[in-house]
Structure 1
């Protein structure tokens, strides 16, 4: 995986050919991450894994002059953040009155099954995660890597440069904090 680091360094140096080299190397991993994330979305999702990967990649490489990636993990952390933002924007767009607002999408053969309110949950998670990032940026980054990028505990620990045990403790605390925040509990966790 050192190839990714070298390609990213060439991209930072202004080598436009590096853009063409980067996509084939990271595409399969980004596809896997996008499929994992979209598997948890509500039925009727119109965004495909391919579209999510392409949009995230364009946002990352399109700003290459301003980006500096230290290593492979840093790039994938940026990709996870980009995918998160795309999914949040998509959820907000679907909540707009122009795009159906509060109306539920129901497949005709499944009229009796209740539709999930996934955009509301995703927006609540984004709000809670934004607050959490102000309190503890490293733990918030762990949540982004685990939830939005679909990384395992060990993979996220490697990206953040922490031990797996620390990642496990941070993950447990983060989930509890976000759960209480999203439920509207005003008591602070100790």
Structure 2
């Protein structure tokens, strides 16, 4: 996925860019859907729709990589918000939905709790080091490899490898501390 500059006259809005990259976004959403245990999270099409709603008003896209980096963060927010909604519904003994498009809730012990804890850990990491948090979004939520992540962040592959090690250790520390 090379960083392809986007001509300002070629892209009028986020909607146009989502249309151009829809297949790629849907593939990413399908992978996240499978990873989360299909019935537990949003269907892939709904997830792409939720991501679009989060980024629709932005118009300053610099490249495909820039757009995908922002989509990664938006996808994380949507998935963590959905997990929070499921946990709230579970505690209240009723089913709720995130903007009316959540899939049927299914029991998955600790899945939502872990996703919420990961979201909280990443929010804290973003306060301390926004680039590290963006790197995790790209690697974990979008599934970019080191080279693609380096392109999105404007750093080298080697830097991404170092940051990935550091971020995983930090997140592990945060998540294990929140268990206690």
For the aligned pair, the TM-score class normalised by the smaller chain equals 0.7 to 0.9
Larger radius of gyration: 1
**Correspondence for 1:33 among 21, 28, 31:** 28
Deviations 1:127-182 (A, max 9, x none): 11111112211111100111111111211111111111110111011101100110
User: What CA RMSD, in Å, does the superposition of the two structures yield over aligned residues?
Assistant: 2.6
Instruction: Return the alpha-carbon distance in structure 2 between the equivalents of residues 43 and 88 of structure 1.
Output: 15
User: What is the DSSP-based 3-state SS (H/G/I as helix, E as strand, rest coil) of the residue aligned with 1:68?
Assistant: coil
The aligned runs of 1:26-175 (5 Å cut-off) are 26-42=21-37, 44-61=39-56, 63-64=57-58, 67-96=59-88, 99-101=89-91, 105-106=106-107, 115-175=108-168
Q: How many residue pairs get matched?
A: 166
**Deviant stretches of 4+, over 6 Å:** 1-4
Once the 2 structures are TM-superposed, how far is the Cα of residue 9 of structure 1 from its aligned partner? Answer: 6.4
Tell me the TM-score normalised to structure 2 length: 0.80
Q: Cα 1:151–1:3, aligned 2, differ >3 Å: closer, same or farther?
A: closer
Q: Give deviations 1:52-104, integer Å, cap 9, x for gaps.
A: 0122123322x14xx421221111111111111111111111011xx222879
> Structure 1, unaligned stretches of length 5 or more?
13-17, 107-114, 186-190
Conservation of the 8 A alpha-carbon contact between 1:129 and 1:178: yes
Decide whether the 8 Å contact of 1:92 with 1:123 is kept in 2. Answer: yes
Do 2:122 and 2:133's aligned partners in 1 also have CA atoms closer than 8 Å?
Answer: yes
